[in-house]
Structure formats: C-alpha cells, structure tokens
Amino acid sequence: MAEEGSQSHQDTPGAQVGHASTVRSLQGEVDQLTLVMRRFALFIGLTLGLSTGLMVRADQSLPFAQTKAANLARMRAESLNGGLGAYRAAGCMYETGGTSCLASKTSEGFLFRFEGGPPGWEQQTPPRPSLETSVLVSKDGDRILEVPYNGPLR
C-alpha cells in the first residue's frame, strides 16, 4: 500500500511546474550573462578602437610624405649596396619617417643621411658600419632627386 500512495518525483504535477520555473530562471540568468558579455565586448572594442585612434592621431603630426620619403631613401640605399642579403641601413631608417636620420627638410625635399653595412653590423659591439649614404627625396616623398653620397664612411 505504501507503494500506491507514493508517487515518483516525475509523476507529481507540481514537479513539472517547479522544473519549468527552474528552466525559466536559468534562461533569465543566461540572458543576463549574455547581456553582460555583449557589454564587455563593446567596452573592449571601444577601448581598442579609441587607443588605436589616439596612436594614429599622434602619428599625424608627421607628414605622410616624410614616411614615404624615408622608405624610398632606405630602399634606394639597399638597392645601391647589393640588396638586403648584403646590406642593412641604420635602424633609424626603419623608424616611421626616419626622423633620426633626417638631415634636413626644405622646400626641395627630405635629405636623409645614414650609415649602413652588412647584415648584423648594428648588433656588433661596438657597431661597425662600413658605408654612409645621403639621399634627397622630393617633398611629396615620391621621387629620388639625388644621391649626393653613397660610399665609405667619411
């Protein structure tokens, strides 16, 4: 008789209602967690976007023509001195705009003056460059106007 009076947990109508409310409660928690994650992702995206925007804005003080000119001057020196397998320009020519190697900036253009040598020369102690190069690039950064010097250190 005891078996007749006892019902399993699943047979109890109230258990079904309790189960449904638990599912709804869990669904509510999942929805809240999803909302929190979306807000977090938005926050991270905005943070990264703003920091990138600030970095770009900081570089805008440097004329784009100067960046192009430095790259063009470095590539000309690499070409004149046997390519990257035989020559590396000074590290300043790999900086954005080559600012440390910029000898002058006039209405005529950008004059870069820098040392160079075989790959690894800057890592030697002390660094031992073997060449010096001067390259004048147009003020728009698109053309080499002159290579006044490319030879042994003076």
What does the pLDDT profile of the chain (154 residues) look like in tens digits?
Answer: 545 555 555 555 555 556 667 777 778 788 887 777 777 777 777 777 665 555 544 456 789 999 999 999 999 999 999 999 999 999 999 999 999 999 999 999 999 999 999 999 999 999 999 999 999 999 999 999 999 999 999 9
Amino acid at position 76, single letter = R
Q: Which domain holds residue 37?
A: 9-59
**DSSP per residue, 97-148:** GGGGGEEEE-SSEEEEEEEEESTTGGGSSS----EEEEEEEETTSS-EEEEE
Judge if 143 and 94 occupy the same domain.
yes
> Exposed, middle or buried by CB within 10 Å (0-12, 13-18, 19+), for 34?
exposed
Q: How many domains does the chain have?
A: 2
Judge if 51 and 98 occupy the same domain.
no
